[in-house]
Amino acid sequence: MEGDKRCVIIGGADIKNYEYIRSQFRGDDYVIFCDSGLKHLEGLRVSPGLIVGDFDSHEDPHLDVETIVLPCEKDDTDTVFAAKEAVKRGFSDFLLIGVVGARLDHTLGNVYILFYLDSLGKKGRIIDDYSEMEIVSDAPVSIGGQYPFFSLLNVTGCARGITVTGAKYPLTDAEISCEYQYGISNEVLPGKEAVVCVKKGKLLLIKVRA
């Protein structure tokens, strides 16, 4: 079981700030490269523990690394397959990078991987050049002052009992539905730490970095 180690899944969306992304890696991370995510091998300077993909957008590099070749016609994207495979291998902490980009369909599909992981009691986070995403569900989440803005989006139905403290726009026992997304661009109060809690439902928390 790999429950104590973190699994990093790398997709093929563009990465501009390699220096920042590299700073988020840990020495013992287990890294999965998904198909065109292999274009980031040199920029990220990390070695894959596993490569998965149908190789329709990047050729198989035939490295001396465990590789799972997928069919081109399938229900799961390469990134979703990687997440499921890592869950099977016992990982409980996930970082996804290179999964937010120009293809909105792939971006949204990848964001929903966070909800999939949360439904299994796993911890998941997405980082890109500008922001970080995670799920707020059954445990409070803190937001530090290094994030000038943060947004709370409901993309799973209706979230109730929402409390936000330490922020410019606080909430108490509030509700956010999919039809009315008013939790965008909140701010952490100077010298404070914002805390978000949800009693029922789930929220997507997007923290925008300075």
H/E stretch holding 22: helix 18-23
3-state secondary structure of 36: helix
Which CATH number applies to 136-208: 2.60.120.590, 2.60.120.320, 2.40.37.10, 2.40.40.20?
2.60.120.320
- The pLDDT value recorded for residue 179 is 93
| 53-107 pLDDT tens trace | 888 777 777 889 999 998 877 888 999 999 999 999 999 999 999 999 989 999 9
Q: Which band of pLDDT confidence, cut at 50, 70 and 90, is reported for residue 3?
A: low
Region 6-129: CATH code: 3.40.50.10240
| 118-127 pLDDT tens trace | 999 999 999 9
- For the residues 143-163, what does the mean pLDDT come to? 93
Percent with pLDDT over 90 in the chain: 81
pTM for the structure as a whole: 0.92
Ranges for all domains in the chain classified under CATH 3.40.50.10240? 6-129
- The pLDDT value recorded for residue 184 is 96
